[in-house]
Structure 1
């Protein structure tokens, strides 16, 4: 706004100067055209004549020229004046527009300044409120600090009084109980120790129960997983081998003149030869499976060759023994390769291979050992134990069965002595001797060996049992239950897997029925050997009967 007014004033000043300059020029020209008049002197000045008073034509012409020049100057001045007036009006309008814009800008700035001032006032108000709160909190903290100081002072006084009271109380206790402070401390420590031990026993019992529950669940899961991951063939073998003959006339040649050939054969091989009415077949019977297999190969070769006499029998038998030894050695090496054991003592390999022809309840012992090694390895891997050592213990646990017909004693102890003799690890030896609980179990490897042995022997189709042993077991189950007092009837159900015991209700009550079931189960576990589990069910039933007439 100030800049527009200043320009307007300058423009106005220029117009005034131009007008004044024009007037000054006109005036100056008029002064030069008119001569100066002489000084007035009335007394001496002569009166003008008529010629002098008459207008001069040259003067009139100059005046006319001057008037024209003045008119031109006035017209130029008017033009300048109008131009100046127009420029002044334009500048005035521009100045007014600038003034309006400046006024709007000033109003906007004033509004912003007003908002800023209000914001500053609000902030100042909040700061004032915050300062008031802080002052209040500081006053509260100071009040609390004074309270704490007072409480500390009171606490010191109370501690002092409590210390004095404790000393007086201790002195009074010593006078009443007749004990010194050290004796009282000893009794207190003993009481606290007793209470701590009692609580520790309670906690230990709870932990043990929880561990048993979790352990049973975990063990069941591990065993089921091992059973599902091991797939073995079903086995069924006997103690009798059959040899097929090309014709019945071969039986006479086997018997020989006056039985000479058959006696020589039985004497050399140690096997009983049974020749009956079965067409084109001869049975060989022997408890030792290696001797029986050697005799079978010998007789098959003699029948194929056709020359049967005592010298030929001895020659073929020696050759068959070497053949059987090679087969046993190869079977042992195959089993070791399947299990992953390569550092077995050379003297143990043929003994282990002899188990190829040994059976237990119809189950091949060498296959049983391989299966047990796989099961023990799977369970050891689940429990993060030494897999190789557990597999080795399970693989060798029945090695003593190869010598039970030669050495007197249990196959577990025989196998342990054999493994100890040939430098096996003490843990492996212990697992072998303890797998039938003939020695107290001390290691985890022994427990896994027992579990693997039980799983391999009790799976369906693994072993068979003779009808005589089966009947004897059922009869013994019924005898054990029937020998109890108050038992009326006993029934063996589900092929001997369940026993139902009927008791007299007036002799055996509900509590005694539970005790009876537990006692029968315990006696069955101690006396009998059986696969799987046997369930004992005691039935106590009361009936009231009346007839309406």
Structure 2
């Protein structure tokens, strides 16, 4: 540092000398002296300033050294503190491990003591078990000697008696549960069915297979018959309907099992009689024209029906089939009236049960469309109807309800039993359908024969038009408990094997009479 100051002084001196010489060359001696004095002054100032700078730098160096030393001391203290903490933690872990080892050794010793104690107890238990088995064998031998039966025979007798008692109790309990469930379910079901029927007003729906065509006079009969009967033969060939012309005044009977054909024949005769021109060519023309108009009328009837019922989005072919139901009958009941009535019943019943009434109404209307196919098939009307509904894009629930309403398909949706029940309600009400007497008598006979097939049955009577079966059993062969079982089995067999409207009540009567005469 001092060398720097000396160098600065020498430089200043050289500058002063050069300046002096220069001034001397230019000016007088006085100016040279002034220059030298000025140079000396500058040299002193430079020395003072160099000393000041040196002292400042020394002071800064001392402060920096003090600060660095303080930082180093702090780092050393922090490291020592962390080392001390690590040593303390290691010391605590070592103490904890030693404590655990001590506890584990103590626990091992205790477990060994417990094990020894358990072994002694097991030996005692084994000895007692052996003694007990000996006593039990001795007791069994004594019992066998007293009872005269072996242990296996006694066990079999006990099991058999318990089995019979359990069967009897189970049957009684099952009967009680079924009766209780029937009472509760029957009460709710009757409530819903009665409300449904009360809210539906249906007309008398029986139709005949004969249509009467009224005439203004008997003279028109001759024109209808024609020369050598050619006109009547042409009408029958074109319409497929039998015309019965007898002594009935001013009337002709149109006979056919197909109401659609009868309607075509009736309208054709009406036009022919009004026109007056009755001959084979004209008959064929009028019948064809009437058939086309009737097809349009069928479509109109179907559209009006679905509109009145509030059903939307149905395929045109299904609407046409609905219209054709107007000219079909089932057991004397008009098919369209029956389907409309079933649809209304389904909607009401679904509403009472909190289900979708529109879907139920749709299924109720379409449940018998298999009875009006365009082509004859070997399928039943329920399966054919389900196939047609699926073909024309109906809801799977509707398809299943149509196919299952006669139990020919498995019911997969809730509305399926509703459609089945409402179909039965519509067809079973008084006056809705005609039942052939022979079928009715055969059903009564089958019901009584089914009851007589059980052992111990003395007599069986089907009463109340087949709605109740009363069975009289022999008191010597059938007990009271067996009577309950017999009634239950008969009801189950009737339910699975017979087809019947409504429900059948099975009553088994067992009576023991002791009669003596005092003379």
TM-score (norm 2): 0.61
8 Å contact kept, 2:205–2:337: no
Aligned to 2:415: 445
Aligned to 2:443: 473
Aligned to 2:100: none
Aligned to 2:271: 301
Pairing 1:360–2:337 present? no
Question: Structure 1's 468 and 320: CA in aligned 2 closer, same or farther, altered over 3 A?
Answer: farther
Is the deviation greater in 343-352 or in 528-537? 528-537
Cα distance between partner residues in 1 of 2:299 and 2:313 = 15
8 Å contact kept, 2:341–2:426: yes
Question: Structure 1's 233 and 546: CA in aligned 2 closer, same or farther, altered over 3 A?
Answer: same
Residue 419 of structure 1 aligns to a residue whose secondary structure is helix
Aligned to 2:224: 254
Aligned to 2:395: 425
Of 206, 231, 234, the residue aligned with 1:264 is: 234
Cα distance between partner residues in 1 of 2:249 and 2:485 = 59
Aligned to 2:370: 400
Of 433, 450, 454, the residue aligned with 1:463 is: 433
1:340 deviates by 0.6
Aligned to 1:10: none
1:435-481 Cα offsets, whole Å, 9 max, x none, are 21111111112222222222222233332323333333333333333
Aligned to 1:192: none
Cα distance between partner residues in 2 of 1:395 and 1:228 = 19
8 Å contact kept, 1:234–1:461: yes
Aligned to 2:251: 281
Aligned to 2:87: none
Summarize the alignment of residues 40-439 of structure 1 with structure 2, pairs less than 5 Å apart: 168=114, 217-403=187-373, 406-439=376-409
1:411 deviates by 0.9
Pairing 1:506–2:476 present? yes
Cα distance between partner residues in 2 of 1:469 and 1:507 = 34
1:315-347 Cα offsets, whole Å, 9 max, x none, are 221122123223222221221112111211122
8 Å contact kept, 1:490–1:502: yes
Summarize the alignment of residues 10-49 of structure 1 with structure 2, pairs less than 5 Å apart: none
1:355 deviates by 0.3
Aligned to 1:540: 510
1:171 deviates by 11
Cα distance between partner residues in 2 of 1:248 and 1:212 = 63
1:237 deviates by 1.0
Cα distance between partner residues in 1 of 2:503 and 2:237 = 45
Cα distance between partner residues in 2 of 1:444 and 1:171 = 67
Question: Structure 1's 405 and 248: CA in aligned 2 closer, same or farther, altered over 3 A?
Answer: farther
Residue 502 of structure 1 aligns to a residue whose secondary structure is strand
Aligned to 1:517: 487
Question: Structure 1's 166 and 226: CA in aligned 2 closer, same or farther, altered over 3 A?
Answer: farther
Question: Structure 1's 245 and 340: CA in aligned 2 closer, same or farther, altered over 3 A?
Answer: same
Cα distance between partner residues in 2 of 1:414 and 1:475 = 32
1:366 deviates by 1.5
Cα distance between partner residues in 1 of 2:116 and 2:184 = 51
8 Å contact kept, 1:235–1:462: yes
Number of paired residues?
A: 358
1:405 deviates by 6.8
C-alpha RMSD of matched pairs (Å)? 3.5
Of 489, 501, 509, the residue aligned with 2:459 is: 489
1:290 deviates by 1.2
1:520 deviates by 3.6
Unmatched 5+ stretches in structure 1: 1-159, 178-204
Question: Structure 1's 262 and 225: CA in aligned 2 closer, same or farther, altered over 3 A?
Answer: same
Cα distance between partner residues in 2 of 1:540 and 1:519 = 16
1:356 deviates by 0.8
Aligned to 2:18: none
Aligned to 2:41: none
Residue 316 of structure 2 aligns to a residue whose secondary structure is coil
Unmatched 5+ stretches in structure 2: 1-105, 124-173
Question: Structure 1's 267 and 425: CA in aligned 2 closer, same or farther, altered over 3 A?
Answer: same
Cα distance between partner residues in 2 of 1:473 and 1:452 = 23
1:144-170 Cα offsets, whole Å, 9 max, x none, are xxxxxxxxxxxxxxxx99xx7899589
Residue 284 of structure 1 aligns to a residue whose secondary structure is strand
8 Å contact kept, 1:404–1:410: no
8 Å contact kept, 1:390–1:445: yes
Cα distance between partner residues in 1 of 2:442 and 2:290 = 39
Cα distance between partner residues in 2 of 1:447 and 1:171 = 70
Cα distance between partner residues in 1 of 2:186 and 2:417 = 14
Greater C-alpha Rg = 1
Residue 227 of structure 1 aligns to a residue whose secondary structure is helix
